[in-house]
Amino acid sequence: MSIFQKCEGFEAAHMYEALGLYPYFHPIEEATATEARIHGEWKVMVGSNNYLGLTHHPKVLEAASKALYKYGSGSTGSRFLNGTLDLHYELEDRLAQFFKKEAALVFTTGYQASLGALATLIERDDHLFLDRLDHASLVDGARLGHGELHRYPHGDFDALRKQLSRLPPDANKLVVSDGVFSMEGSVVDLPRLVRVAKQHGAQVLIDEAHAVGVLGPDGAGTVSHFGLQDEVDLVLATFSKSLASVGGVLAGSETVIHWLRHHSRALIFTAAMPPSSVAGVLAALEIMQNEPERRERLWANTNKVAECLRSMGFDTGATSTPVIPVLIGDIEKTLHVWRVLFDEGVFSHPIVPPAVPQNACRIRVSMSAEHSDEQVERVLAAFARVARTMVTV
Ligand SMILES: Cc1ncc(COP(=O)(O)O)c(C=O)c1O
């Protein structure tokens, strides 16, 4: 026996490659905000999370390149030591205001923000409650913590209530949920979640990864959409979606953020977010706040595509956001659909287990404010082709 035996026995990826159905790691040779050149052909990108289309905005690129020349190409150290720039503090101040919290802490990725928050806060005898469909980064953060993890069925607040009420009233409890569920596109019923949590003395953390730039009058996400800033204790977000960069943030009270700044291993034992990324996020935030018409365009594209897909007979599940799942069924069929779309010039994602249950495989489409009418039509035409060939795939 060898530790590598499992690697030698792993055949699935080769098998799908041989069938021309392998959808992962296709290298992008060049990109705009809405298209990618792959294997020499331009495809409309509906597989990114570039909701506001800011990755190629001239002001974002200019801010990033100025910072590159001012501070250098990398942070070469931890936030704790030599990695903190004045720009990190500027971004933290701006984000604290944006999320209406006292303070914020910037991590190198959104994933690390999840680990940095949950693994650090949840100590022995503390209890953490996660929706079954919460993002993997939250699950991993919870697993790294030393407290007890409870999962409740997706959106089932009666089940959450039962789990919470089994614990003594004075036990430490944190309820954690995605604001927008990343594979469903649905929005958490935050007023109910908050009510149940508060009735049981639990604190609340909301992950706004797919909600920033999308929901709320100012684009600040689900919490702002429901006006529950005072009831939600911690807000987590990433910069890898609407904010067109890479990095993550946790916003909350000054006391909690100060404690995490000095205890969070995911902050301390890794290099800081690089200067050009921080500057790019600062620019993207400003554009997002000054150009609300981008959000309007995003919603117009979203509503058009979702309605047309439904009228073609596709099941788009419970989505009410720019993340539009197109439910297909089993893996094979989903990969065939992905291939038809790819060949028609559309870059989408097949979502298969373990991200979703066996027979709930889907194509995930995500819309951008920058998709032109012509690109939207190309995407819809590709799906029309799928609808016509569906019986044979
Ligand atoms: C809901 C959610 N939280 C956290 C993350 C992690 O963010 P990042 O990709 O910036 O590490 C993601 C990324 O896909 C996400 O969808």
CB atoms within 10 A of CB 32: 14
Q: Tokens for 23, please give them.
A: 């959808």
Instruction: Note the pLDDT of residue 391.
Output: 53
Query: What are 330-361's pLDDT values in tens digits?
Result: 999 999 999 999 999 999 999 999 888 889 99
Ligand 1 within 6 A of CB of 182: yes
With H, G, I as helix, E, B as strand and everything else as coil, classify residue 27: coil
3-class secondary structure for 250-319? EEECHHHHHHHHHHCHHHHCCECCCHHHHHHHHHHHHHHHHCCHHHHHHHHHHHHHHHHHHHCCCECCCC
Q: How far is the CA of 110 from the centre of ligand 1 (A)?
A: 5
Query: What are 365-389's pLDDT values in tens digits?
Result: 999 999 999 999 999 999 999 999 8
The DSSP string of 183-239 is TT--B--HHHHHHHHHHTT-EEEEE-TTTTTTSSTTS--HHHHTT-TTT--EEEEES
Strand arrangement, sheet containing 127-131: 103-107, 248-252, 234-238, 203-207, 173-178, 127-131, 148-152
Nearest CA to ligand 1 atom 8: 110
Nearest CA to ligand 1 atom 16: 182
Ligand 1 within 6 A of CB of 368: no
Ligand 1 within 6 A of CB of 222: no
The residue behind tokens 């009510």 is: 195
The β-bridge relationship of strands 173-178 and 127-131 is: parallel
Q: How far is the CA of 137 from the centre of ligand 1 (A)?
A: 7
Q: Which of 108, 137, 139, 249 to mutate to test the pocket of ligand 1 (most atoms within 8 A of CB)?
A: 137
Ligand 1 within 6 A of CB of 366: no
Q: How far is the CA of 148 from the centre of ligand 1 (A)?
A: 23
Q: Which of 319, 325, 327, 328 is nearest to 299 (CA)?
A: 319
CB < 8 Å & 24+ apart, contacts of 213-217: 213/51, 213/52, 213/241, 213/242, 213/243, 213/288, 213/294, 213/295, 213/298, 214/51, 214/180, 214/242, 214/295, 214/298, 214/321, 214/322, 215/179, 215/180, 215/187, 215/321
Cβ pair 114, 136 in contact under 8 A? no
Cβ pair 96, 104 in contact under 8 A? yes
Q: How far is the CA of 142 from the centre of ligand 1 (A)?
A: 15
Amino acid at 173: K
Instruction: Note the pLDDT of residue 389.
Output: 85
- Flag residues of the chain having pLDDT under 50: none
Does the pTM of the predicted model rise above 0.85?
Answer: yes
Orientation angle between helical segments 373-389 and 331-343, nearest 10 degrees? 130
Separation between Cα atoms, residue 166 and residue 336, nearest integer Å: 46
Cβ pair 207, 180 in contact under 8 A? no
Signed CA dihedral, 263, 265, 270, 276: sign only: negative
Beta-bridge partners for 38: 28, 41
Q: Which of 51, 55, 106, 111 to mutate to test the pocket of ligand 1 (most atoms within 8 A of CB)?
A: 111
Ligand 1 within 6 A of CB of 110: yes
Separation between Cα atoms, residue 197 and residue 76, nearest integer Å: 41
Nearest CA to ligand 1 atom 10: 110
Q: How many helices (H) and strands (E) does the chain have?
A: 15, 14
Q: Is 199 exposed, middle or buried (0-12, 13-18, 19+ CB in 10 A)?
A: exposed
Ligand 1 within 6 A of CB of 116: no
Separation between Cα atoms, residue 320 and residue 186, nearest integer Å: 6
Separation between Cα atoms, residue 46 and residue 27, nearest integer Å: 16
Q: How far is the CA of 292 from the centre of ligand 1 (A)?
A: 24
Q: How far is the CA of 46 from the centre of ligand 1 (A)?
A: 17
Nearest CA to ligand 1 atom 7: 110
Q: Tokens for 106, please give them.
A: 């910037």
Separation between Cα atoms, residue 164 and residue 85, nearest integer Å: 41
Element (DSSP H or E) covering residue 333: helix 331-343
Atom of ligand 1 at shortest range from CA of 135: 1
Ligand 1 within 6 A of CB of 111: yes
Radius of gyration of the chain (CA): 21
Query: What are 190-248's pLDDT values in tens digits?
Result: 999 999 999 999 999 999 999 999 999 999 999 999 999 999 999 999 999 999 999 99
Orientation angle between helical segments 110-121 and 136-144, nearest 10 degrees? 30
Ligand 1 within 6 A of CB of 277: no
Measured between alpha carbons, how far is residue 220 from residues 98, 151, 208, 272 in Å?
Answer: 7, 27, 8, 24
